[in-house]
């Protein structure tokens, strides 16, 4: 845990290319005092430093958040970047007013509902549907950044690119996390000659831990973006080149065109807010399902004294799993892109509806089957079809000297996205977040593929206010469908259990997947397996889910706790 009352470290300490300074970035960062106010929490200390450098120049939380996103494009290419998209939640430090920006990727206009099916109506092989242009949506992160910067930025646009350009041009040190991700995703990370030349040696193996990685093509791309702005991706010339590359890699269905890219727009959406105890929890609305799912889980549990139970009691984890099951049943049936389908957001978080759903949760036994409810305004004719498992993603949180807060989740979907590599960055495979089949039981699926549509997401950037309207927690997570569960669990940890943000992020993980329950290997939950089975959770398995979360928590003296999931910290080594 890092406690900051002042920010900013000299950027050279963490951006320099030698292993000595990289060690300083990890082992000495807690001792560095910063100039100016605010705090940054990101998945890589070099990206954190990029955000801190922007704050030190008087940049806003929005400016710093954009700089972090750009830096992560360089040092964490397996998780996010300018070839993908994201969601940003921004809160005004003085008024508390919220704005949310949707930079989710879109399907090509010519995409059909049968995009992931063969001529016989069967789902295509995973390699065909994921590792090709079929999975690539129009990238949205730069459009999101430009929209947010125009409204809430203070520094010049070009200044936000400087840390990332330095990392890409001068090089960064290969850490264990990136090395392991490259090793585990051969065939995807090294799909192209260009990517192999950056991250792999002549023997076909990833560069070793401690090696300096330079990405000159990405440095060039970022320099053009810094000078030309979004036109460097969404302008006619750039769009024609990117569209042609993706189209050439697309084996069937509607191929991407320049018009798909030039027409792309980041959109402001209405945030989803709901009370929990004496707090107000706000998140992202559709096409993200995260804000609704977090609000539902918390709302369904509010009638239980979770503080009295505590995290050492199996009954708490039982109640938490049951609330997940109900929230995710609703998610599967109703969530999608509101530009194409009716999503009854207000009904899904309605207090009366959540009380009805909460009555289905028994403290003593699990539901035989968790089914979707019928919230106010719900369309009745909906089906629930199969989907590709979600993965990847990164989250970062920023607060600036004025108290403005940004909670930003960014992604390319799976590790290294589609594997397609364009001008120094990986292109997403976000379109596999659509449901693979357009109908289920003769009913249309809300999240089916349609031209121009944005796939449903689990991303859940979240900001929590106390009873006085102060921003007290800025939080989010990565890890596909586990994201809303991670966020809800951490909020319960802070609000109900009185934990620090870092301790809350480090709580054991448990999640319902269909009729089975996954408990995190090596945690106290393993010792509760018998008790959970006695409560009706018959099918329990242990595993190591992809968990990664970041948060900022307001301290009583007005400073900020900078929290990173302990699981992530253990992987950011250079040994």
Q: What is the pLDDT of residues 201-240, one digit of tens each?
A: 999 999 999 999 999 999 999 999 999 999 999 999 999 9
Q: What is the largest CA-CA distance in the chain?
A: 64
Task: With a cut of 80, say whether residue 331 has pLDDT above it.
Answer: yes
DSSP code string of 42-70: -SSHHHHHHHHHHHHTT--HHHHHHHHHH
Question: pLDDT tens digits for 437-451?
Answer: 888 878 888 899 999
229 falls within a domain: yes
| Mean pLDDT for the chain overall | 91
202 falls within a domain: yes
Edge-to-edge strand list for the sheet holding 540-543: 510-513, 516-520, 540-543
400 falls within a domain: no
Residue 95's pLDDT band (boundaries 50, 70, 90)?
very high
Task: With a cut of 70, say whether residue 246 has pLDDT above it.
Answer: yes
pLDDT at position 380: 60
Question: pLDDT tens digits for 274-283?
Answer: 999 999 999 9
Residue 390's pLDDT band (boundaries 50, 70, 90)?
low
Q: Is 462 a catalytic residue?
A: no
Structure tokens given for 324: 């997940």
Which of 23, 41, 22 is closest to 552 using CA atoms? Answer: 41
416 falls within a domain: no
Give me the percent of the chain exceeding a pLDDT of 90.
Answer: 86
Give the Cα separation of 197 and 211 in Å (integer): 14
Q: How many angstroms separate the Cα of 19 from the Cα of each of 13, 179, 209, 215?
A: 11, 15, 10, 18
Structure tokens given for 432: 């596999």
| DSSP code of residue 257 | -
499 falls within a domain: no
Give the Cα separation of 175 and 33 in Å (integer): 25
- Cβ neighbourhood burial of 190 (10 Å; 0-12, 13-18, 19+): buried
Q: Is residue 396 classed as helix, strand or coil in its secondary structure?
A: strand
pLDDT at position 570: 78
Give the Cα separation of 415 and 437 in Å (integer): 23
Give the Cα separation of 184 and 439 in Å (integer): 34
Question: pLDDT tens digits for 432-482?
Answer: 999 998 888 788 888 999 999 999 999 999 999 999 999 999 999 999 999
- 34 is in which domain, residue-wise? 2-268+423-430
Cα-Cα-Cα-Cα torsion 14, 18, 21, 22, nearest 10 degrees, comes to: 60
pLDDT at position 385: 53
74 falls within a domain: yes
DSSP code string of 8-22: ---THHHH-SSHHHH
pLDDT at position 9: 33
Q: Based on the structure, what is the number of domains in the chain?
A: 1
Give me the percent of the chain exceeding a pLDDT of 70.
Answer: 91
Which of 60, 234, 52, 80 is closest to 142 using CA atoms? Answer: 234
Task: State the catalytic residue, choosing from 393, 409, 432, 437.
Answer: 393
pLDDT at position 387: 57
pLDDT at position 31: 33
Question: pLDDT tens digits for 36-59?
Answer: 589 999 999 999 999 999 999 999
pLDDT at position 36: 53
pLDDT at position 321: 98
366 falls within a domain: no
Task: With a cut of 90, say whether residue 572 has pLDDT above it.
Answer: no
Question: pLDDT tens digits for 402-424?
Answer: 999 999 999 999 999 999 999 99
Q: How many angstroms separate the Cα of 40 from the Cα of each of 9, 35, 509?
A: 11, 13, 25
The enclosing H or E element of 3 equals strand 2-4
174 falls within a domain: yes
Task: With a cut of 70, say whether residue 10 has pLDDT above it.
Answer: no
Q: What is the 3-state secondary structure (H, E, C) of 272-303?
A: EEEEECCEEEEECCCCECHHHHHHHHHHHHCC
């Amino acid at each position: 845990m890092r406690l900051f009352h002042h920010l900013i470290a000299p950027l050279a300490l963490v951006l320099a290319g030698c292993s000595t300074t990289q060690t300083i970035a990890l082992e000495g960062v807690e001792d560095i005092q910063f100039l100016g106010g605010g705090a940054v929490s990101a998945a890589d200390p070099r990206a954190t430093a990029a955000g801190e450098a922007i704050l030190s120049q008087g940049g806003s939380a929005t400016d710093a958040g954009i700089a972090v996103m750009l830096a992560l494009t360089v040092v964490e290419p397996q998780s996010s970047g300018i070839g993908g998209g994201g969601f940003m939640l921004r809160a005004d430090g003085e008024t508390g007013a919220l704005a949310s920006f949707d930079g989710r990727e879109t399907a090509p206009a010519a995409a059909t509902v049968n995009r992931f099916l063969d001529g016989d109506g069967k789902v295509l092989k995973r390699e065909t549907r994921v590792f090709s242009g079929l999975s690539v949506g129009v990238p949205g992160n730069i459009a999101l950044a430009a929209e947010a910067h125009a409204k809430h930025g203070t520094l010049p646009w070009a200044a936000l690119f400087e840390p990332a350009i330095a990392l890409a041009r001068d090089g960064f040190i290969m850490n264990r996390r990136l090395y392991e991700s490259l090793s585990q995703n051969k065939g995807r990370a090294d799909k192209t000659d260009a990517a192999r030349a950056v991250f792999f040696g002549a023997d076909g193996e990833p560069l070793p831990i401690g090696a300096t990685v330079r990405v000159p093509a990405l440095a060039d791309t970022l320099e053009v973006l810094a000078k030309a702005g979004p036109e460097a991706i969404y302008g006619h010339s750039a769009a024609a080149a990117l569209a042609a590359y993706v189209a050439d890699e697309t084996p069937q269905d509607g191929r991407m065109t320049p018009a798909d890219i030039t027409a792309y727009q980041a959109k402001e959406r209405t945030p989803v807010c709901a009370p929990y105890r004496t707090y107000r929890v706000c998140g992202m609305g559709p096409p993200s399902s995260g804000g609704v799912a977090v609000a539902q889980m918390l709302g369904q549990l509010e009638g239980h004294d979770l503080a009295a139970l505590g995290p050492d009691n199996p009954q708490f984890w039982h109640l938490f799993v049951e609330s997940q099951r109900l929230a995710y049943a609703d998610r599967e049936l109703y969530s999608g892109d509101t530009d194409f389908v009716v999503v009854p957001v207000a009904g899904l978080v309605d207090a009366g509806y959540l009380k009805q759903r909460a009555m289905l949760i028994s403290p003593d036994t699990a539901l035989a089957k968790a089914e979707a409810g019928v919230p106010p305004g719900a369309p009745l004719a909906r089906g629930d079809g199969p989907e590709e498992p979600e993965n990847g993603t990164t989250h970062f949180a920023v607060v600036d000297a004025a108290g403005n807060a940004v909670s930003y989740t960014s992604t390319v979907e799976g590790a290294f996205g589609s594997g397609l590599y364009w001008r120094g960055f990986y292109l997403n495979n976000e379109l596999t977040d659509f449901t693979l089949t357009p109908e289920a039981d003769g009913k249309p699926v809300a999240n089916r593929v349609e031209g121009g549509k944005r796939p449903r997401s689990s991303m859940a950037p979240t900001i929590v206010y106390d009873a006085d309207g102060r921003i007290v927690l800025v939080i989010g997570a990565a890890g596909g469908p586990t994201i809303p569960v991670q966020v809800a669990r951490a909020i319960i940890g802070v609000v109900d259990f009185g934990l620090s943000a870092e301790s809350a992020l480090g709580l054991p993980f448990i999640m319902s997947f269909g009729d089975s329950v996954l408990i995190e290997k090596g945690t106290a939950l393993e010792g509760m397996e018998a008790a959970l089975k006695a409560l009706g959770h018959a099918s329990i398995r242990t595993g190591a889910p992809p968990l990664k979360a970041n948060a900022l928590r307001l301290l009583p003296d007005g400073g900020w706790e900078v929290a990173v999931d302990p699981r992530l910290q253990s992987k950011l080594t250079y040994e």
